[in-house]
Structure 1
Amino acid sequence: MKLFIKNMVCIRCKMVVRDELTKLGVHCIVVELGEAEILETITPEQREEIRSVLLRSGLELMDDKKSMLIQKIKQVIIELVHYSEEPLRVKFSEYLSRQLNYDYTYLANVFSEVQGTTIEKFIISHKIERVKELLVYNELTLSEIAFRMHYSSVSHLSAQFKKVTGLTPSHFKQIKSQRRNMLDEL
């Protein structure tokens, strides 16, 4: 049985979910961003207990199909932007459609309806947060960051970065005082 969990955005979230489910006597097969596959079928009472325990950690057990789909969309975006170093060989819309087995137009409409923003804006906000992280680490040049983050050029990255943050990447790198946002706050 699969449980779909909102606000899971990092490895620590996965560890919290696994630990909390184990404490409740639920056997996890796999815990991924946004979902946990468990061995048992749970009762409505157990579901409420799991919901309550996860809520204390800022996580939310989801029931409706639209919320689950939104979480899956977010999961694909977060994994691609923050954890993948492979270049994307197809348009993102095609990649997302293939990953989730839905038409991109449907995914975009559901996402906008529920989230109040577009998939594109969600992607951009995550890309900019990843760029901030890479700038703070100071291990890559701006050209290398632009390539890694799939920007067509350094100027495209710089323009988008300035539009979102109000700063140029080089100015951001100089001040480093603007704190990065938590992924689940985007």
Structure 2
Amino acid sequence: MAKPRKPRLVRNRATRPAGPSRVILLNKPWGVLSQFTDKGTEGSARETLSSYVNVPQVYPAGRLDRDSEGLLILTNDGRLQHRIAHPDTKLPKTYLAQVEGEITEEALALLRKGVTLKDGITRPAKARRIDPPDWLWPRDPPVRYRKSVPDGWLELTLTEGRNRQVRRMTAAVGLPTLRLIRWQIGGWTLGGLQPGQWRDA
């Protein structure tokens, strides 16, 4: 009779650091990858986090698309990184989106209820129309406008993190996103950080 196999031990990669935990809040500029090295095609010159954060053993908790701006959290705490990035935690993330088109109550209602995308219906979101932020830095390069089409600003709070979700949601309700800034993750906010600046949380 064969001996029963011992259960295989699975290492939990989400571990705490040997030293003190560190949490860094970065205002990621437009056009910067949410990683420290460019793993794209050879010879590409895409900018990475290494241009802004020179701190050893910290890694992004989640990601922010290259063409999006705003809050990116970096940490050396694997458990915290997992909690921030994993969709099961439903950690709220708030975005400010400049969109093309007239923001109607019908569009807001759809965003709040949940929008049908190719990968399923989104969770209900908090959505409201806001005035253009008077504290916002100018984008480099500037946003391209169409003079014949109005634009406005939305504040959206999501509890999931699908690929390019905000852009897909606004497009689905007829409001293509022109500019996207992440303002808040859980209890952490961008505060007064300018593009490329960071601070310890």
TM over 0.5: no
Greater strand proportion: 2
If asked which structure has higher relative contact order (CA below 8 Å, sep 6+), I would say: 2
Greater helix proportion: 1
Please identify the structure whose Cα radius of gyration is greater.
2
> Please, what TM-score do these two structures have when normalized by structure 2?
0.29
> Please, what TM-score do these two structures have when normalized by structure 1?
0.31
